[in-house]
Structure 1
Amino acid sequence: METDIDPRSLIGRKAFDRDGHKLGTVDEVYLDDATGIPEWAAVRTGLFSRDAFVPLAPSTLVDDTLRVPFERALIKDAPDFGVGRHLSPEQELQLYHHYGLSLPAPEPAERPSSVSDPDSTRDFGRLAGHDD
């Protein structure tokens, strides 16, 4: 995703799947705690539906809408962790596996020598959402 876009500007934008089907509205944006880079968006999929987490790295902004390069069914079947709190490293891992994405490599400074799993140090914070 374009890195020069303010993540707050994503909140309230319409989101569409790879085939152009409307998914819903971006409700919240989640930042990597270590890098501050927007990693995930929670998309409200309907008035009485849940938020679906979508990865921002492969997504693009087109005509003020978020285009997510996955099928709507896959997005709606994403693990549901609720919104309004941090994503744990385990939840993040589940999302990466669900979308078939490779885990981003941690920065060299982020790798503690005493931890055998470098991905266990990643944590995702929530950026103020639509209702804050």
Structure 2
Amino acid sequence: MQTDIDPRSLIGRKAFDRNGAKIGTVDEVYLDDATGEPEWAAVRTGLFSRDAFVPLEPSELAVEGLRVPYDRKLIKDAPDFGVGRHLSPEQELQLYHHYRLDISAPVSDSRSPSPSPSPGEDLGRVAGSPD
């Protein structure tokens, strides 16, 4: 994802799965405590539903909203940690495993690379919402 995007601009945007199906609306954005980079988004999956955490890398921000390169079912089956507080290192590791993300792979694209969090790093809460 583009690192020059203000994470607060993601809140309230629609999120879509890899097939273009709407999965919900971005409710909160979680920042890596060490780097300050947006790392995860909590997507409200329905009016009376829960928030599903989705990785912002390798997701893309498009005109229509956030495009998450995973199937809707995988996203909805993500571990439920609730929102409004830090993700613990254990919770983050569970998300990495759920999405089969390589936590040791460096970022390699045309943008300036930002360090990937280690499984022991605590992820900060929420860009743009009051504590």
Q: Which runs of 4+ in 1 moved over 6 A?
A: none
1:1-132 alignment, distance < 5 Å: 1-104=1-104, 119-128=118-127
| Shift in CA distance, 68/52, structure 1 to aligned 2, threshold 3 Å | same
| Shift in CA distance, 130/20, structure 1 to aligned 2, threshold 3 Å | farther
Q: SS at the partner of 2:95?
A: helix
| Shift in CA distance, 18/84, structure 1 to aligned 2, threshold 3 Å | same
Larger proportion of helix: 1
The answer to whether the 8 A contact 1:12-1:130 is kept is no
Task: Give unpaired runs (5+ residues) of structure 1.
Answer: 107-117
Q: SS at the partner of 1:121?
A: coil
Overall identity of the aligned pairs, in %? 79
| Shift in CA distance, 23/69, structure 1 to aligned 2, threshold 3 Å | same
The answer to whether the 8 A contact 1:11-1:130 is kept is no
Q: CA offsets per residue over residues 13-46 of structure 1, 9 Å max, x none?
A: 0000000000000000000000000000000000
Q: CA offsets per residue over residues 58-90 of structure 1, 9 Å max, x none?
A: 000111400000000000000000000000000
Q: SS at the partner of 1:95?
A: helix
TM-score normalised by L of structure 2: 0.86
Which of the pair has more CA radius of gyration? 1
Q: Take 1:104 and 1:53, find their aligned partners in 2: how far apart are those partners?
A: 20
Aligned length: 121
Q: Take 1:24 and 1:38, find their aligned partners in 2: how far apart are those partners?
A: 19
Q: Take 1:64 and 1:6, find their aligned partners in 2: how far apart are those partners?
A: 17
TM-score normalised by L of structure 1: 0.85
Q: Take 1:130 and 1:38, find their aligned partners in 2: how far apart are those partners?
A: 14
Amino acid corresponding to residue 127 of structure 1 in structure 2:
V
